[in-house]
Structure 1
Amino acid sequence: MLDLSQLSKYRENNRIEAKKAQGGLPHSIWETYSAFANAFGGYILLGVVENADKSFSSVPLSSPEKLVADFWNSVNNHSIVNVNILSDRNVQIVESGGNQIVVIEVPRADRHDKPVYTGVDPFSGTYRRNGEGDYRCTKDEVRAMLRDQADISQDARVMDTMTIDCLDTDTIRRYRQRMDNLRPGHVWSELAVEDFLHRIGAMARDADGKLRPTAAGLLMFGHEYEIVREFPHYFLDYQEHDRSATEDERWTDRIVSSSGDWSGNICDFYFRVYNRIAQDIKVPFKLEGTDRIDDTPLHKALREALANALIHADYYDRRGLVIQKWPDKIRIANPGAFRINVQEALVGGVSDPRNESLIKMFNLINVGERAGSGLPSIRSVWQKQGWQVPEIVEAFNPDRTTLTLPLSAAKMAVKSGGKKVAAKNGDKEGGIAERRKADILQYLTDTPKAASKEIAEAVGLQVSRTKMYLAELIEQEAVVAEGAGRARKYRLKT
């Protein structure tokens, strides 16, 4: 039996669509199927109406079994919808409010299946979900999905009209110097420039056997005015704000790729911006032998976050990469949607990079990860700092992924004289609580969904105390609860 009152949270997140389905399948079901598949997934309920107060009620269905049969026949008809991404477990007949209803769970489609569209034309039949319902995707959105279908990395393309002159020699020289410092005696150190660039994937041979820059080489080492010949919307933007009171203040310092007074490529942008965002981090005094170690897990996490944005960006998309730094947070927004489910990215172990050659180039100078551990590592470092949990938001039209990194302590509510006051991590009680909550978040990073009893056993707390911390994490929008009673489970908010 299905309790419709428990589905309100899905409706609030635009993940549920109720349809009466009287007289057969409603035609709009396929637009909703497409919209959910191309976004975050969702539930379609047949035999359910949404009331004025946003609650749901079931209505009688004359023949739910026939509706299910009609649905399967239609979803497998390529003139109605181009691909069936469902299995038997995704379509069920359940009882609710004394009536039988049909529940269709539409998962987020794999990138190889996108775009999921109605009819025979992806440019007119592709939909996505937003706060107002299903909307028809723009041609740019459809093209982005089609680009992501390919198993060949976007940045592997050979720029067959360009030569090495399109690349900035100073950037290449600095890159090679860093690599030599990190990997002394490497077998590529003595190679000629073109041979070296060929080895790292920055150049490749065209159909005539001539070495040409690849898309990755152009992005990594190219002059900005050459990069925009291939990527017309390419734009890198770093903004620094000296006050955090409002986010719409004008920046106090800025670095943009189109300024003309530097190369404008992503290699030089990375080092310019990293030096800015890392300059306020306090470095503990630590010796390894007689050498002082100036690196910390926080430095590494910042490098990972910055490199991830540059590596996973879709440089063909129409909005550029923007990094904004305030005293209390850093926001990194890059063009392109996630190629895997965000929850999978937060758990780690799964990697589906958009630009594999860029990963290789950054790895050679010890920047970035290949194992899909980037986001979990960043979250873990932030939790150990006692800071608020980093937030990831994926948006569409245009496709955009935004990572917000708070640089301040997480707050919790503690009672003082019968009143609730905010306590920061530096206070004794607050510090203990934040460490406990960090343990819970770490467990939910490794275990995507768990009951309070399982969490309590894993972190060594009483169930009642665990539930209190979970309630605070829900209030802080770091965790969400699903289900009720004994079936209640908790997971990280995506």
Structure 2
Amino acid sequence: MKETRTLEYKSEVTNSFLKTVSAFSNFGTGKILFGVADDGAILGINDPEQKCLDIENKINDSISPKPDYALSINRLNNVITLEVNEGRYKPYFYKGKAYRRSDTASVEVDQIELKRLTLEGNNLYFESLANDAKDITFDELEKSLIDKLGVTEVNDDTLRTLGLYTKEGRLNNAASLLADKNDFSGIDVARFGNSIDEILDRESFIHMSVITQYDKALAMYRRYYQYEQIKGADRVLIEKVPEKAFREAVANALVHRTWDINANIRISMYDDRIEIASPGGLPSGISEDEYLHGNISTLRNPVLGNIFFRLHYIEMFGTGIKRIVDAYKDCPIKPRFEIKDNSITVTLPVLSATMSVTSDENKLIELLNREMRYSSSEIAEKLNWSKDKTVRNLNNLMDAGYVIKYGTGRGTKYSKK
């Protein structure tokens, strides 16, 4: 087994492991194995009991505050395992410096990362800090709350309920992000031709509400990746990239990005794909595997996330990646996710066989699922359709490969394929 971000080998006990103790305490649980060479060869440790005491003394004397760790000895090969848990009282310093993991190395954090660790250690978030902007207005937020939640009036009590005030009664950074005008970065969208040197269209949505950013990005997506086609008596909406996937990717980028740096979310539109790159890697304590499988229990911007959830821009917390993948479930090509220390990029490929369904057919698809089978009469009743209309739409969707038929005659049932 090779060294990883969460696994380090040491052939012997020297002070070099202490940087990694700081890194694991600051950014996520990991293990250090003593008595193992860099290539994974088992060497063992002489007098492992004494070496455990040495390790314990080095940690207690050198790391501040005291980290959460455990030591164990494998008696079969004399390998010592030091498991370091992510701490609650960040930052954790070694010789006055805090460290993080970069691939298989432990490196010193920069000033921005140190500030983030300090906020975490105090159970605070950047979005919850006071913002000094003056004359803030919330017209876009108010419009969204009225349209989607039926709120009749947006006042200070509403803003407090949404978490947009500090305990001291000042508007916070989350409030500024939702304000009609602000000083924050935003989204940069570019439509490319045959190469990145050929820019056909470009717009920057900055210094404005994140709600406006989201809406404008969606409008640009629809300009280039949706069109209508006449199919019989119906107008059919063609999606070259599933809108559901694009919505989720942009909402996730806005909710999970780091807002304490002056960098835009980049949306790059090509003939064969869309790339959405957001500043900031994974939140502390979240592994790549957890991210990709939707097991995200930690939000970098919980206030913003909660508001996007209330406004139905995102579904349940942590399910965005799964929903993006599900949008391509029946397609031969799949979305891709590239996770780096300081950015996350989602690539949404253009569908080789474009999705083409009428509004009625889409209602039928949304009704059906893979676990439940319905008869045509049950479908007609649920959708308040005539029998002929129901059968016609079922036949169209079966021909297109969206619906599967079970049984014959009066026992015929249908489900999503």
TM-score of the superposition, structure 1-length normalised? 0.60
Which residue number in structure 2 is paired with residue 403 of structure 1? 345
Distance 1:86 1:79 in 2: 14
Tell me the SS of whatever aligns to 1:253.
strand
Structure 2 residue 68 is the aligned partner of structure 1 residue 85: yes
Task: Tell me which of 205, 214, 227 is aligned to 2:172.
Answer: 214
Which residue number in structure 2 is paired with residue 20 of structure 1? 11
Q: Relative to 1, partners in 2 of residues 1:339 and 1:370: Cα closer, same or farther, differing over 3 Å?
A: farther
Structure 2 residue 323 is the aligned partner of structure 1 residue 377: yes
1:80 counterpart letter in structure 2: I
Instruction: Report how far residue 307 of structure 1 moved.
Output: 1.4
Instruction: Report how far residue 40 of structure 1 moved.
Output: 5.9
Deviations 1:438-471 (A, max 9, x none): xxxxxxxxxxxxxxxxxxxxxxxxxxxxxxxxxx
Task: Tell me which of 171, 180, 185 is aligned to 1:235.
Answer: 185
1:83 counterpart letter in structure 2: K
Which residue number in structure 1 is paired with residue 55 of structure 2? 71
Deviations 1:397-417 (A, max 9, x none): xxx2313223146xxxxxxxx
1:49 counterpart letter in structure 2: A
Distance 2:109 2:198 in 1: 33
Task: Tell me which of 253, 268, 291 is aligned to 1:309.
Answer: 253
2:106 counterpart letter in structure 1: D
Work out the percentage of aligned pairs sharing the same amino acid. Answer: 18
The answer on whether the counterparts of 2:133 and 2:176 sit within 8 Å (CA) in structure 1 is no
The answer on whether the counterparts of 2:70 and 2:83 sit within 8 Å (CA) in structure 1 is no
Q: Relative to 1, partners in 2 of residues 1:15 and 1:363: Cα closer, same or farther, differing over 3 Å?
A: closer
Distance 1:267 1:201 in 2: 16
Task: Tell me which of 18, 34, 46 is aligned to 1:62.
Answer: 46
Unaligned runs of 5+ in 2: 355-417
The answer on whether the counterparts of 1:278 and 1:302 sit within 8 Å (CA) in structure 2 is no
Which residue number in structure 1 is paired with residue 221 of structure 2? 277
Which residue number in structure 1 is paired with residue 305 of structure 2? 359
Instruction: Report how far residue 249 of structure 1 moved.
Output: 3.4
Which residue number in structure 2 is paired with residue 255 of structure 1? 203
> After superposition, where does 1:482-493 map in structure 2 within 5 Å?
none
Distance 1:336 1:41 in 2: 17
Q: Relative to 1, partners in 2 of residues 1:242 and 1:192: Cα closer, same or farther, differing over 3 Å?
A: closer
Which residue number in structure 2 is paired with residue 104 of structure 1? 82
Does 64-73 or 139-148 show the bigger shift? 64-73
Which residue number in structure 1 is paired with residue 142 of structure 2? 176
Tell me the SS of whatever aligns to 1:213.
coil
The answer on whether the counterparts of 1:383 and 1:389 sit within 8 Å (CA) in structure 2 is no
Tell me the SS of whatever aligns to 1:128.
strand
Which residue number in structure 1 is paired with residue 410 of structure 2? none
Distance 1:105 1:205 in 2: 37
Does 58-67 or 78-87 show the bigger shift? 78-87
Which residue number in structure 1 is paired with residue 94 of structure 2? 118
Task: Tell me which of 96, 104, 108 is aligned to 1:136.
Answer: 108
Instruction: Report how far residue 94 of structure 1 moved.
Output: 5.5
Q: Relative to 1, partners in 2 of residues 1:56 and 1:215: Cα closer, same or farther, differing over 3 Å?
A: closer
Instruction: Report how far residue 308 of structure 1 moved.
Output: 1.8
The answer on whether the counterparts of 2:225 and 2:241 sit within 8 Å (CA) in structure 1 is no
The answer on whether the counterparts of 1:221 and 1:267 sit within 8 Å (CA) in structure 2 is no
The answer on whether the counterparts of 2:268 and 2:276 sit within 8 Å (CA) in structure 1 is yes
The answer on whether the counterparts of 1:256 and 1:264 sit within 8 Å (CA) in structure 2 is no
Instruction: Report how far residue 14 of structure 1 moved.
Output: 5.1
1:375 counterpart letter in structure 2: I
2:67 counterpart letter in structure 1: N
Distance 2:350 2:241 in 1: 17
Tell me the SS of whatever aligns to 2:250.
helix
The answer on whether the counterparts of 2:267 and 2:274 sit within 8 Å (CA) in structure 1 is no
The answer on whether the counterparts of 1:237 and 1:254 sit within 8 Å (CA) in structure 2 is no
Instruction: Report how far residue 367 of structure 1 moved.
Output: 0.9
Instruction: Report how far residue 65 of structure 1 moved.
Output: 2.4
Unaligned runs of 5+ in 1: 1-6, 228-233, 410-423, 427-494
The answer on whether the counterparts of 2:240 and 2:350 sit within 8 Å (CA) in structure 1 is no
Instruction: Report how far residue 269 of structure 1 moved.
Output: 1.3
2:266 counterpart letter in structure 1: V
Deviations 1:373-396 (A, max 9, x none): 22222222233333224314040x
Deviations 1:303-348 (A, max 9, x none): 2221122122221235443333333231221235414423333333
Distance 1:200 1:341 in 2: 25
2:188 counterpart letter in structure 1: Y
Distance 1:153 1:131 in 2: 26
Task: Tell me which of 209, 217, 227 is aligned to 1:265.
Answer: 209
Distance 1:302 1:371 in 2: 17
> After superposition, where does 1:365-444 map in structure 2 within 5 Å?
365-395=311-341, 400-408=342-350
**What is the CA RMSD across the aligned residues, in angstroms?**
3.8
Distance 1:49 1:344 in 2: 29
Distance 1:291 1:250 in 2: 33
